[in-house]
Structure 1
């Protein structure tokens, strides 16, 4: 397994994690399929979404793969009137990550990060290792602290 930038940052911060690799194919950009492949409940596998607020700029949201981001709730949480998802073509230049391999750890810049409150239900959750084909299982509290995420109700 190749160490990703995300793994190197976690190693440096002395945060424990378990890397879980899976086979990438055209069907498994879908988060629920990834959860199935790595043998975890979809509620415990978090996807990383990037949006842009009208006034607040770029914002990161981590939500379970079997849910959708509620844009109204998300806008309220960040204190903006309106937000929209970042177009896929802007994801790599903005974050340094591609669709299906976006991690809340190690983006080009530090953006405000919000995690769905359901994360509290699990001792460990998984997020992308920064590449397609690898998820990292990380103790929830370590992850929340490291990415300075605020827990809130943003998924539906």
Structure 2
């Protein structure tokens, strides 16, 4: 793995602040991210809602752009393919599958792959969400000491 580029004039980046998602149905998106995925609403105003998962230190800004967002998500267009949320182990991944089933959210079930185990689901507007447990072998192939190093999170306590 190549060493990170450093330069005295390169400003630091601390991590991901939040992810902004355009949604056609703001109420459906808020319901999915709160009721199904366990996020909480921190800000709500016409056309915009900010939801956070405090434990994961992850936030989403959901906006319908004043009603201008239309259609469904298509990962075959340039841009985002899918969003993968890290899950600690296969037991927790199975618990997510059970939760999705309990909320009548269609999903792939837990599927083993060469890189680990994943659970795929489509949120509102067919937004592709993957819940993922990386295998130690995949972490090693990425030049990481363990799958934990593949999870983006603050180094601060």
TM-score with structure 2 setting the length: 0.27
Say which one has the larger Rg: 2
TM-score with structure 1 setting the length: 0.27
More helix by share: 1
1 or 2 for the larger relative contact order (CA 8 Å, sep ≥6)?
A: 1
